[in-house]
């Protein structure tokens, strides 16, 4: 299982919090690439709720991780 920024971006609009099965269903309905669905299927299903993409991919870059100064624009 691997995540990239492009793959993870397909889950940004997911109905958080969600279970693994709900995320798979969302990915299928939204037309996400097959790699996203495969990554979700490889996750262990313990019936837990995922609160955000960070629960799935802890290294998901947040807005604070980018060196962009909004005050300049």
The answer to whether residue 71 sits within a structural domain is: no
Secondary structure of 23-71 in HEC code, one letter for each residue: HHHHHHHCCCCHHHHHHHHHCCCCCCCECCHHHHCCCCCCHHHCCCCHH
Query: What pLDDT is recorded for position 5?
Result: 87
**Side-chain half-sphere exposure of 73, counting CA atoms within 13 A:** 3
How many domains does the chain fold into? 1
Q: Which helix (H) or strand (E) holds 21?
A: helix 20-29
pLDDT of 64 reads 60
In the prediction, which pLDDT does 47 show?
84
Average pLDDT, the chain: 86
Q: State mean pLDDT over 29-35.
A: 96
The answer to whether position 49 is within a domain reads yes
Q: Which domain holds residue 29?
A: 16-59
């Amino acid at each position: 299982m691997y995540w990239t920024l492009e793959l993870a971006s397909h889950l940004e609009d997911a109905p958080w919090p969600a279970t693994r099965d709900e995320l798979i269903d969302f990915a299928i309905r939204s037309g996400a690439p097959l790699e996203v669905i495969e990554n979700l299927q490889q996750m262990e299903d313990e019936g837990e709720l995922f609160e955000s993409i960070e629960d799935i991919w802890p290294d998901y870059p947040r807005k604070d991780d980018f060196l962009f100064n909004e005050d300049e624009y």
